[in-house]
């Protein structure tokens, strides 16, 4: 997962000053952007991405998911957090993990039944 600077950025320079790899750059017109070739998500340096942790707007720097469902849940969580002022991330992650586990179990059982009937 990589990160991007959004239009919510207030150009406070906090993210750039804490980035351990110097991946956050400034364009000639003063807009911030993240060089994905340099960004390591702070792996090996910190347990959480520093650009995200230090952003005073909480939306100036956001993760960019690599697959559809990761994107969907990230967007949903961010919007619910804005509306309620609380984090719902754990609830949906637990729900999704439980749902996918139960679905996998059911598919596995069906596959075993099909194999035993054919034998």
For residue 33, list its beta bridge partners.
Answer: 25
Taking alpha carbons only, the member of 5, 7, 6, 13 closest to residue 34 is 5
For residue 62, list its beta bridge partners.
Answer: 4
Structure tokens at 79: 């919007």
What is the percent of the chain where pLDDT is above 90? 25
Cβ-Cβ contacts under 8 Å for 36 (sequence gap 6 or more): 2, 23
Could you give all domains of the chain from N- to C-terminal order, each with its CATH number? Answer: 1-64 (3.30.70.20), 66-119 (no CATH)
**pTM of the complete model:** 0.54
DSSP H helices in 19-58: 50-54
**pLDDT (tens digit, 9 = 90+) per residue, 8-30?**
999 999 999 999 999 999 999 99
């Amino acid at each position: 997962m990589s990160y991007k600077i959004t239009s919510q950025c207030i150009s406070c320079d906090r993210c750039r000053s804490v980035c351990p790899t110097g991946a956050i750059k400034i364009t000639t017109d003063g807009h911030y952007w993240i060089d994905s070739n340099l960004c390591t998500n702070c792996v090996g340096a910190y347990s959480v991405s520093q650009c995200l942790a230090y952003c005073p707007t909480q939306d100036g720097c956001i993760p960019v998911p690599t697959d559809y469902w990761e994107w969907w849940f990230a967007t949903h969580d961010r919007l619910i957090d804005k509306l309620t002022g609380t984090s719902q991330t754990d609830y949906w992650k637990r729900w999704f993990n439980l749902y996918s586990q139960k679905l996998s179990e059911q598919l596995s059982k069906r596959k075993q039944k099909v194999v035993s009937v054919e034998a």
